[in-house]
Amino acid sequence: MIGRLNHVAIAVPDLAAAADQYRNTLGAVVRDPQDEPDHGVTVVFIELPNTKIELLYPLGDNSPIAGFLEKNPSGGIHHICYEVDDILAARDRLKAAGARVLGNGEPKIGAHGKPVLFLHPKDFNGCLVELEQV
């Protein structure tokens, strides 16, 4: 059901410093910051040959990333994202298997302009999982 790894998301306390580190220290292609108000984050994508890194920074007072950074002030891996061909079919299959879909269970449009869903980390070995329809 799942396809390739789309990205690994890392919450960061300083978005500009993290982007500079990937650009200048690691020599990666770093995209411009992008506000995602529906998700409460500002994102920066780092392009790698085989996947992407998504840097996450809080946007707004109700950002889920703010709470993550309170618990992890230095930042850290927030979630992993897998691609799926049909997000509604994937959701239905996962729910039938007992997995919990976060939010209201309906896809939102993600940073790539495609439908996304998040799965409860307690159902996936402590890892928050994002599914993105390709």
Indicate which residues carry an active-site annotation: 130
For the four alpha carbons of 56, 101, 127 and 82, in that order, the dihedral sign comes to negative
Confirm if 59 and 40 have CB atoms less than 8 A apart.
yes
Beta bridge partners of 41: 36, 58
What is the DSSP annotation of 93-131?
HHHHTTPPBSTTSS-EE-TTSSEEEEE-GGGTTT--EEE
The DSSP code for 87 is H
Distance CA 122, CA 102 (A): 11
Distance CA 78, CA 111 (A): 15
